[in-house]
Amino acid sequence: MVDTDSPTRLPGHLEDHVVHVVIAEDNAITRRMIELAMIQLGWTFDSAADGLEGLSAVKRTAHNLACVLADIEMPKMTGIELTKALKSNPSLAHVPVVLMGTPDWESQAMAAGCDAFLAKPFSVSALLDTLNL
């Protein structure tokens, strides 16, 4: 996998905090790669195989959630639909969203209100760079 040249990044730093993320990714291999990166960082996470599961996980954990990492193309609810649902809900709008997809999705992802975009395929170092670590 190739790092992106200049990925959009989340503001601030997540290091030195107890960090909990929601991973919404329908591809099991990509989801597991992200999970392993979170484990290596000592972060906790909820994983979801589609956008609806991701939304449910966000609602359960919003009080201590650092961010949502969501694939754009997922069954039941896309990452763009998930982002719009979060950003339109006053109690969830504060949660940063990183959308992941092929580069041709970036403008639509940013227009949907995501806080950062990560182009696929990506490496763990590109993921960490996007998270501003």
Residue 9 falls inside a structural domain: no
Within a domain: 45: yes
Residue 106 in any domain: the answer is: yes
pLDDT tens-place values along the chain, 133 residues long: 333 344 455 555 455 556 899 999 999 999 999 999 999 888 899 999 999 999 999 999 988 889 999 999 999 999 999 999 999 999 999 999 999 999 999 999 999 999 999 999 998 889 888 887 5
The answer for 42, left when phi > 0, alpha when psi is -120 to 50, beta otherwise, is left
On whether the CB atoms of residues 44 and 38 are closer than 8 A, the answer is yes
- Domain of 102, CATH number, reads 3.40.50.2300
User: Helix %, strand %, coil % for the chain, to 5?
Assistant: 40, 20, 40
In a domain, 52, yes or no: yes
Total number of domains constituting the chain? 1
Residue 16: inside a domain: no
In a domain, 10, yes or no: no
* Domain range enclosing 80: 27-130
